[in-house]
Amino acid sequence: MLFNSFPFLWLVLITFFLYYLPRLSKYQIHILVASSLFFYAYNNPVLLILLLVSAGINILSSYYVVYGNQSNRKLNAILGVASNLVVLAFFKYSPLFSNTFLETGSSLSEFLINIPLPIGISFFTFQGISLVIDVFSQKYFKGEDIVPVSLITHAKQTLFFIAFFPQLIAGPIVKAHDFLPQINNKQLKDINWNGAFKNLVTGYFLKMVIADNLKDFTFWIAYPYFQQHSTVDLLTMLFGFSCQIFADFAGYSLIAIGLAQVFGYNLSLNFNFPYISSSFKDFWKRWHISLSSFLMEYLYFPLGGNRRGKYRTYINLMITMLLGGLWHGAAWSYAVWGGFHGVALALERFMSENSKESKNFFIIFLKRIMVFVFVTFAWLLFKLPEFSHVIAYIKAIYTNSSLNFDWTLCLNIFIYSLPVFIYHAIYLLKDKKYFVVFRKQEYLIYGLLLFLILTNSGSSGAFIYFQF
């Protein structure tokens, strides 16, 4: 069920009405759980079984870590994390295992290749891992704060945490110690209407007006269509896809955050204007923040982080980025994408240790361009997961310079990409004195965005990160 569909609109409206109905106030969690399960099962009811199995694993493992035999806490935590990883590996990486290690055409190979990829599995399994680790390390349940609850109560809260529909399919990835303390009765008067309105309008604008229009023009990046386009077209389309993937995913995240606010819950910021980054480290503090912080907290730090010497730091960094790349998809191209970013981070760290950071405006501007260009070219591995196609695309950039460029295509990409950079520029200029005019007229701007959503939305399409 897409966020930009009428069935979803009806689901939200009905859920909202029941959720804040005074007579049903004590059933608020039940209402959201029911809506979330309906949301997930809407297009493929069979996959609801997997979501419930995943939730069951985390309910039992986390419950017995806290309330079970304390001598078995570590064992229960290990089993819980391992079970989550097995579920994720089986459903997401079986085809990759088959294509890499098994003979093509064998019965086992065919079986593994045809295993369906459940939507959102990377997100809800990571949240399950967060829950098990958090209760084991007592980031949520702490000593005297532990109040015994029944398994049924714990199951209800855990299922709600994992299945909460605004962020179920594509995040932001929610950590247990951030979300569970928020579970309590919500009042209509406590809604942050201002924040919810701004997040929803901006999110739907980025998705429906920017990303959904750009997707029709960046479609030609696909193999073999790009071979017929000029160098200018190829570079422009790649630039457009960089704007599209940002608008698509940042748009989804803002919608999820806005919807959660409507129901009284605060989700963490997932994008913080990443295309103004002047370093790769800064980029990963701004892009998909919930994933990068998850990998930092639950992988990089446990590996030792930067506490075990310079060379071990580089190794930990590469392992984290390679696994972060593989998290995105069951293809080695995603690992290479993660490896590219890992190498960039490592080189940047090495250079920063041997030079002083410049505060010159021109140098910072050049760094921002360099980071954006690198990130943009790396997105080819998302759009073209086949290595041979990526190489062919890069080759075409050099060999197709004699072809005439499609000025209509390039102009449309420029027009629909421009708001992404205006969006980032507004953030950079927000503290300038002369920008006070914009702040006073911001609701006129949001009115314009609403008008464009209603009049200039592109054809509806699934969010890019649904495939992960």
Residues annotated as catalytic are 328
Q: With 0-12 CB in 10 A as exposed, 13-18 as middle and 19+ as buried, what is 295? A: buried
Nearest CA to 154 out of 187, 124, 131 is that of: 131
Other residues' Cβ atoms within 10 Å of the Cβ of residue 432: 9
The verdict on whether omega for the bond into residue 224 sits within 30 degrees of 0, i.e. cis, is: yes
For residue 189, what are the contacts with CB-CB under 8 A and spacing of at least 6? Answer: none
Quote the CA–CA distance of 236 and 415 in Å, as a whole number.
Answer: 12
What's the token pair of residue 72?
A: 């078995």
Quote the CA–CA distance of 113 and 397 in Å, as a whole number.
Answer: 33
Quote the CA–CA distance of 289 and 52 in Å, as a whole number.
Answer: 27
How far are the Cα atoms of 306, 358, 382, 424 from residue 363, in angstroms, in the given order? 28, 7, 30, 19
What's the token pair of residue 428?
A: 């950079």
How far are the Cα atoms of 36, 67, 111, 356 from residue 152, in angstroms, in the given order? 18, 13, 37, 57
Nearest CA to 26 out of 133, 156, 218 is that of: 156
What's the token pair of residue 53?
A: 């199995």
